[in-house]
Structure 1
Amino acid sequence: MNYFGISTTSAMAPRNSIAEFQELVRSSNRMMALCGAGLSAASGLPTFRGAGGLWRNHEPTDLATPEAFAADPSLVWLFYAWRRHMALKAKPNRGHFALAELAKRKENFICLTQNVDGLSPRAGHPESKLYLLHGSILDNKCFNQCGYIDRNNLSDPICPALAPAAEDYPPDQTLPLLDPNIPAPQIQVEDLPHCPRCKTGLLRPGVVWFNEPLDENMIMQVENWIWQGPVDLMIVVGTAAAVYPAAAYTRKAQRRGAIVAVINPDPDSASGLGPKDFFFQGDAAEILPLLFEPVIGKMDESGKICVEP
């Protein structure tokens, strides 16, 4: 068994025909995609759980909790200010643009992303068809939960005290902030971003941390869409879909009749796919524009459509 809940045998190998998949995309009505960190890999952003190792001798996952922020907001903000800087330096790749174009041309297509980097919105993905499951690192909200949200803040750094996280150094030099042998900048809590509404709470990154629920309204919208009718195609891009509730969406789509297509450089990601499904091994930035070409047209290297379908 595997995370799809399906028995695996060699006789159950998925399809890899580009022509067959292109025809499926062209003829499908209701489609959904689930995207993970692998989608942004070609933009130069490391995966959150990847081989990046420690951050200043801290496990990154240990800094992604409300408890960590309450204990040391300056350290957590330094970590997220650095991640913000990396996200703002990065540019959407052709995979982001291909998904955005598909959303514009297919009325009944929705995209769920676990990424917080803001690259899908910057690629022009229609907001009404994009669900940011884990929030956005470009949003800020009140830690005291007064309801204040500052959306799509592109300031870098987010405040003067966090400037050390927004510095750039030559490729052969290590950013001092990332060197655990160099003392971390001492930042006073009063110099961190504060909530302008309640005046008492700190602002925090607008991402979903461990031990926090996803947005209930967003989840309800996705559930309602799934149960409105049959699902023709479920596209899983750059993720093993192993974290709940994202892991459940593939199974829910299958129960609504969906053919599953996985795009991932890891061959193990094909585990659990059946003979009606598809698996394309490789970089989503290269594969998605080709797979969607009959619907979105031919895309140039910059992500622009140069030949209409």
Structure 2
Amino acid sequence: DRIPADLMDQGSVDYMVREAIRYGIAPVTALRMATLNAAEWFGLHDRGAVAPGRRADLIVFDDLAKLMPEMVFAGGRLVAENGVALEAGFGAVPPIPATVAGSVNIRWEAVDLRVRAESDRIRVIGMIENQLVTEERILPATVRDGLIVADPARDLLKMAVIDRHRDSGAQGVGFIQGIGLRSGALAGTVAHDHHNLVVIGADDDSMLAAARAVAEMGGGLAVANSGEIVASLALPVAGLMSDRAIGDVRAGYDALIAAAAALGSPLHDPFMAMSFMALEVIPKLKLTDQGLVDVEQFKVVPLFVR
């Protein structure tokens, strides 16, 4: 799970190998961990080593300590040199297969973000900075006209997870602290590991605008404010990936982060944080399209505390 900027500025597995060496692992051992060991473990016996009969997927370094790639070969073809991808090394981008296109299927008439006040206390997902685990916070609700609403002054935002795979109409609505938006909303279809549509915001209009924008793109990420879209990035491949060049994707993602920051979020990457707030296998409290899940008890729990 690395964003385009990190991939371009730091690297991918090569970055992890450099980190391993920095922590004292011998360079050859670190390289073997990232290549042959991984290939053998997953039964990929046609790759992972420089040997006859193996795929010619190669990285050429000039220094075993720094391990900065000079040339990259894929299937024997030079695809990158001195940190620059070579267009000649890649064929034309194929059409998105029908099996992974049009992956956002939502019954919009079933989507209702309103939360009627059944109690004056609610369970809230409490984000912990730089961690995937959360807290279960029992907090007083902010009630307006019989409805529980987001309260940005308390960093109390509304969150919804909407099934986008089966057009079932399933949705969970809850509240979260830690995103930091003062106004507007974030939405996206990257949400480990079910990858449903997740939206977090300070008002329902912005939440719906962001959610609908993501659906209209066939999946992706969006920022809305006052019901209007201020930044978006389409991820049309299963709602998770782009078919555009990484530089274009980076520019779009950077614009999303800047838009979220302009709306008050202090997080380095609020979209990455949001993607894990619906992952119901990491404690303590997470939200799914089936409702709030107490991961330690492994059961759905009510929003209201009486």
TM-score, normalized by the shorter chain, greater than 0.5 = no
Instruction: Give the TM-score taking structure 2 as reference length.
Output: 0.24
More helix by share: 1
Q: With a CA cutoff of 8 Å and minimum separation of 6, indicate the structure with the bigger relative contact order.
A: 1
Of Structure 1 and Structure 2, which has the larger fraction of its residues in strand? 2
Provide TM-score, normalisation by structure 1. 0.24
